[in-house]
Amino acid sequence: MQTKSELKTPTKQDLKQFSRLLWSTNISKGLIAIGLAGSIITTLTQLMIPLATQRFIDGIEFDFFTPWMIAAIIGIFIVQVIFNGFSNYVLHKIGQHVVAGLREFLWNKIIKLPVTFFDRYASGEIVSRLTNDTSIVQNLISSFFPQFINGILTLVGIFFILIVMDWQMTLVMLTAVPLALGLIRPLGKRIAKVSREMQDETAIFSGKVQQTIAEIRLMKSSTAENYEKNKGEADIAKLYRIGLKEGKYISIIGPLMYTLMMGVMVFVIGYGGVRVARGVMTTGQLVAFLLYLFQVIFPITTFMNFFMQIQKAAGATERIAQILDEKEEAKRQGIKLPIDDLPITFDHVSFAYEPGKEVIHDVSFSTLPGEKIAFAGPSGGGKSTLFSLLERFYTPDSGEIRAGDTLIEDISLHSWRSQIGYVSQENAMMSGTIRANLCYGLPHPETLTEERLWEVLEMAYAKEFINRFPDKLEEEIGERGIKLSGGQRQRINIARAFLRDPKILMMDEATASLDSQSEKIVSQALNKLMEGRTTFVIAHRLSTILDADKIVFIEDGRLTGIGKHHELIKTHRLYQLFAKQQLSKE
């Protein structure tokens, strides 16, 4: 399982990828134009204030400040506030649009990825990419980008005004720019590297926390509180150390910038004072120059923050792009094929979860429509893997699985899986109501009547216990159905299979969690449901498969026997042992 990405400084390619990803979210060019127009108007009003101050100080008659002129100056401030707020809102809206688009891309991609992807990545890490990394991009566009745009416009405007006012003073002030870049650039790169490390470690920590919370009962029943406490504290301490490292660099940059700007200001005041004394420059011009210098400080600080943030965003984009570049499940857009009257054939199928470690070796067998096929054998032999291959969670490394003469990979995933009813031994449930779980995945659940829901619940021997709940079908069952017993969850899963009316049934010991009375009734319902349908059963108890049309015996991923019960008990030594151990006790 991948838990950490290689750290590296973002390249031009990373930034190009970042730009392409942003534009792929269909950002409104009209909104961008409106936001930039608001920023331009805001900047122009800000640039007028020092000029008005200069004219006042340089002895413009007080008659110049008529009520209309005072109203105009106040109006300038009001216009600045209005347009500044408006442009910031528009640019913030663009940021929200971008992050919503990125999350939509990611979510739509994630739910289409194969099971192998989720085998490689912790669920908490994927969640972190969907939430934390996209939030970094949103923060860049909503907060730092507007400040960056305003800063660029402000600097350009101030530069031209200062050149006109006094080009020599302007050149003196501009000498600080290369000095600032020389001091900040190496520190900025280190901050970006530390920030990317923080992103990776945060994603890993999120994955560990999510896993611990998901298995909280295991943790408590195992009295593992101290173990989890120590492990969590170690991870938190690691995040703390990375945060301190980032804070150390930021704390160096802040005073450096302050000292540099104060030095420039002192130098400008001194040099400007000399020029005022010589009569080359007026006092009003010097004051205006200083006011513009104050206006320059904020954009420069903004640029520093923006470029650090854009490197963070480039790192986040790299991870987002990694997910978007993952291959989706194969043949999602295949043919639609009814499979109720087709034989299913495994033809020399081999499969390995990892290269060189085969768990299924050259397995071949076929079924006729309507047959009951049981998989038996020692635990870990590969029975559940065969189910996973049949569900197309994985693709065989070699060999073929066919429905009739058609490779199942050539059938669209929706067409294939919609015709399969799967009841697993894990009793999988989603948080929500009983009704939501019954109808989960059905194309038009709103068309199902109450009578039909209660009918399938009765068939699965679930009607009685659900009727005892205060809210009945609307009863909330908690995360993963934790408020229900294992047997109750299993019966709701069986009812869901009834409701799908599948062409193929796949049951991983569907009655294992039921008491003897419930098992008898549910088995009768399952037998009725199996009529005319191909059924695959993983058998942990041979007593449940004595009537199977074929029993496929799997050992260490190999098919070592196939036939009916009375055939295998005569020819297969390990099956004989299984039968002796189990059937003699029943």
| Residue 2: band (very low, low, confident or very high) from pLDDT cuts 50, 70, 90 | very low
| Residue 86: band (very low, low, confident or very high) from pLDDT cuts 50, 70, 90 | confident
For position 350, what pLDDT does the model report? 92
Summarised one tens digit per residue, pLDDT across range 469-494 is: 888 888 887 777 777 877 778 788 88
Summarised one tens digit per residue, pLDDT across range 214-223 is: 677 667 766 7
For position 7, what pLDDT does the model report? 37
pTM, two decimals, is: 0.65
509 carries an active-site annotation: yes
CA–CA distance from 314 to each of 134, 190, 311, 319, 535 (Å)?
Answer: 11, 15, 5, 9, 50
Alpha helices of 222-335 — where are they, by DSSP H? 225-277, 283-324
Select from 338, 397, 324, 405 the least CA-distant residue to 366. 405
For position 11, what pLDDT does the model report? 46
C-alpha of 169 from chain center: 52
**Average pLDDT of every residue of the chain:** 76
| Residue 512: band (very low, low, confident or very high) from pLDDT cuts 50, 70, 90 | low
| Residue 5: band (very low, low, confident or very high) from pLDDT cuts 50, 70, 90 | very low
| Residue 8: band (very low, low, confident or very high) from pLDDT cuts 50, 70, 90 | very low
Q: What is the DSSP string of 409-425?
A: GGB-HHHHHTTEEEE-T
| Residue 9: band (very low, low, confident or very high) from pLDDT cuts 50, 70, 90 | very low
CA–CA distance from 190 to each of 9, 195, 257 (Å)?
Answer: 9, 8, 17
| 333-368 exposure pattern, b = at least 16 Cβ within 10 A, e = fewer | ebeebebeebbbbbbebebbeeeeebbbbebebebe
Please give the average per-residue pLDDT across 254-275, as a whole number: 76
Q: What does the block give as tokens for 285? A: 């011009």
- Return the amino acid letter for 21: L
For position 70, what pLDDT does the model report? 66
Summarised one tens digit per residue, pLDDT across range 147-160 is: 777 777 777 777 78
What whole-number percentage of the chain has pLDDT above 90? Answer: 1
The region that residue 152 occupies, defined by phi over 0 for left and psi between -120 and 50 for alpha, beta otherwise, is alpha
Q: What does the block give as tokens for 449? A: 């009547």
Domains in the chain, ordered, with CATH? 12-324 (1.20.1560.10)
> Is residue 444 pLDDT above 70, yes or no?
yes
| Residue 1: band (very low, low, confident or very high) from pLDDT cuts 50, 70, 90 | very low
Summarised one tens digit per residue, pLDDT across range 425-443 is: 666 777 778 888 888 877 7
The maximal CA–CA distance of the chain, rounded, in angstroms, is 119
Select the highest-mean-pLDDT range: 104-118, 285-299, 345-359: 345-359
Q: Which of the residues 326, 509, 555, 567 is marked catalytic?
A: 509
Alpha helices of 140-224 — where are they, by DSSP H? 145-165, 167-174, 176-214, 216-221
The region that residue 373 occupies, defined by phi over 0 for left and psi between -120 and 50 for alpha, beta otherwise, is beta
Lowest mean pLDDT among 41-50, 390-399, 414-423: 41-50
Summarised one tens digit per residue, pLDDT across range 239-248 is: 888 888 877 7
- Residues forming a β-bridge with 2: 121
- Residues forming a β-bridge with 505: 421, 535
Please give the average per-residue pLDDT across 324-352, as a whole number: 81
> Is residue 411 pLDDT above 80, yes or no?
yes
For position 3, what pLDDT does the model report? 41
Lowest mean pLDDT among 250-264, 374-388, 565-579: 250-264
C-alpha of 216 from chain center: 23
